[in-house]
Amino acid sequence: MPDLPGDEVSVTAAPTPVDSTALELAEEMAIAVQEFVVAVERVATVGLGDSAIALLLIHTSQLAAHGARLGAVTDVVPEGRYEPDTGGEPEVDDLRLRLAEVFGPADRYNTIDDPYFPAPEIVESSLSDDLSSIVTDLNHGFGHFAAGRPIEALWWWQYAYLSSWGEDLLNAHTALRSMISHIRLDLESR
């Protein structure tokens, strides 16, 4: 990938100030995280049929907008430059299995690996894996937020957005949008 201006991260960068802008962004992100996690849990618990796909499509879109904000802001730098322990990570295997059951054969889908990689590949993905992985990343950051460390939460959400949950989210969103298209358009052509 080409080096872009501002692509480098300085280890001597000043910590992100705990000001009203950062606190507002952290609060908005925390709300978005909670709404997304609740929606995914609801689908995994209740199922909801075709409306589950629509619900997740809406929530992946909303979370993608919040993630884009995190990707667009200057690197968030926590005060101590290390990540305090948030305690044990919540187990998501049960969530993943319940989602796989809800999606059934539609759980598996194909996507393109990193489009900037010299030889992009088509890879098989799973909605249940992607959504449970996103929930894990979001909850980890929320642990910092709930412990009163909003800058640490922003740092984690930004880092994880750029390194993992952002890609998983957009891939899942694309798969969900495709499902909605097939449900609506294939039905009309019958």
CATH of the domain at 124: 1.20.120.1550
Is the pLDDT confidence value at 190 over 50?
no
Residue 137 within a domain: yes
Residue with the bigger pLDDT between 84 and 132: it is: 132
The answer to the question of residue 7 being in a domain is no
Q: Work out the average pLDDT over 15-40.
A: 90
Closest to 173 measured CA to CA, from 18, 61, 40, 90 = 61
pLDDT tens figures, 139-158: 999 999 999 999 999 999 99
Nearest-10 crossing angle of helices 150-160, 50-72: 110
Q: What domain count does the chain have?
A: 1
∠ CA 23-29-33, rounded to 5°: 145
Whether 154 is in a domain gets the answer yes
Whether residue 4 is predicted with pLDDT greater than 80 in this model: the reply is no
Q: What is the pLDDT of residues 50-83, one digit of tens each?
A: 788 999 999 999 999 999 999 998 888 887 655 6
Higher pLDDT pick, 32 / 21? 32
More confident residue, 4 or 168: 168
In a domain, 76, yes or no: yes
Q: What is the pLDDT of residue 82?
A: 58
Say if 100 falls within a structural domain: yes
pTM: 0.84
- Residue 13, token pair as written in the block: 């960068």
Please classify residue 10 by burial: count the beta carbons closer than 10 Å to its beta carbon, then call 0-12 exposed, 13-18 middle and 19+ buried.
Answer: exposed
What is the residue range of 32's domain? 20-188
Q: Answer whether residue 4 is part of any domain.
A: no
- Bigger pLDDT: 188 vs 138: 138
Residue 116 pLDDT = 82
| E strands present in the chain | 108-112, 122-126
pLDDT tens-place string over residues 100-118: 999 999 999 999 887 887 8
Question: 23 or 183: whose pLDDT is higher?
Answer: 23
12 falls within a domain = no
pLDDT the model gives residue 84: 60
